[in-house]
Amino acid sequence: MSQSRLSTALNDGLFALPNGNIAVMRPPATYDVSSLPRDALQIVHGFYPDYAAWQNAGYDVAQDLHDCAVAIVVVPRAKALARAMVAAACAKADLVIVDGQKTDGVDGLFKECRKVLGDVPSITKAHGRLFWFAGTDTFVDWAAPPPAKGPHGFYTAAGVFSDGAVDVGSALLADALPPKLPARMADLGAGWGYLAGPVLARESVKSLDLIEAEALSVACAKRNVDDPRVTFHWADATNYVAETAFDGIVMNPPFHVGRASDPSLGRSFIQAAARLLAPDGKLWMVANRHLPYETTLSESFRNVDTIGGNGAFKIIHANRPTR
């Protein structure tokens, strides 16, 4: 097995780790930490599936970054979030290491850091780059601001899905919902809470559970949704366990893992919805029209109908799960 960029840099003596705690920020569950001393290591994550995977593997895991000797920034797709992570690492660590794939923008981040710091050592390997520098207050203006209202009137933050505008698919789904909804509702993959508004507008709804894997999105949802009928859950919707079955579910399931389209993620949401619904439960969902969900839907529900959409999206209503 070829070595990771981090292992290569350490094994080749390109830099030495100072004594003290090491924080790895938002690494995917497959990220290679084998070259790091486990007893000094903490994983810092806000995405619940990865958080849970590291925790289940026996690592010390936290949502918030604390003072440390080394902070390793694993570059996410969102540029604003990547910059905010660098700023946070600089504020807490003596040595900052940045590691990421070219497709996630690591080279652009490297160029920005070099403009400010001058020469910055780095290595390139496996379609990515790793670079490092001493902690500095130079990037304080990259720090993430608190969630703020956008032009759409909702609180969003860097790194959340559809942070600049209401997602077109979610808006179509909201418009397609019937005048009356079941009493006990859930939104799987609720994001920053857009669908909560149209769901809660139905007086028939007695409770709504918002289930979302990204902690940044949950924080925004709590600002956007102020209703005693709502309960927020930071959790992985695909394996979430409810105390009581839901009567109805709405969802706009994600279909990307990193930059790659992965329809199996949406299929997992459909299967989770069927598992979480009562025997006569109902599902309303939106999906990109090209995504092949029909087989999973027909296997998971007795009745499946396309009730709307446009050239890019399809709105689906399904009921009576087959589990």
For residue range 146-185, what is the model confidence (pLDDT) as tens digits?
888 888 899 998 888 887 789 999 999 999 999 999 999 9
pLDDT for res 3: 82
Is 70 exceeded by the pLDDT of residue 257? Answer: no
Cα 95 to its chain centre, rounded Å, is 26
- Taking the C-alpha atoms of residue 211 and residue 231, their distance in angstroms, rounded to an integer, is 9
pLDDT of 145 reads 85
pLDDT tens digits, one per residue of 81-108: 999 999 999 999 999 999 999 999 999 9
SS3 content of the chain, % helix, strand, coil (to 5): 30, 30, 40
The conformation of residue 214, written as its DSSP 8-state character, comes to B
Distance of CA 159 to the CA centre of its chain: 8
Average pLDDT for the chain: 95
> Where is 54: in which H helix or E strand?
helix 48-56
Closest Cα to residue 245, out of 299, 292, 182? 182
pLDDT for 1 equals: 44
Q: What is the pLDDT of residue 175?
A: 97
Burial of 59: CB neighbours in 10 Å, binned 0-12, 13-18, 19+: middle
Q: Which residues are bridge partners to 314 per DSSP?
A: 287, 309
pTM of the model: 0.94
CA–CA distance from 225 to each of 65, 196, 234 (Å)?
A: 27, 7, 15
Yes or no: say if 98 and 109 are a contact pair by the CB < 8 Å rule. Answer: yes
Q: How confident is the model at residue 306 (pLDDT cuts 50, 70, 90)?
A: very high
Share of the chain above pLDDT 70, in %: 98
17-26, 102-111, 147-156, 218-227: least confidently modelled range: 147-156
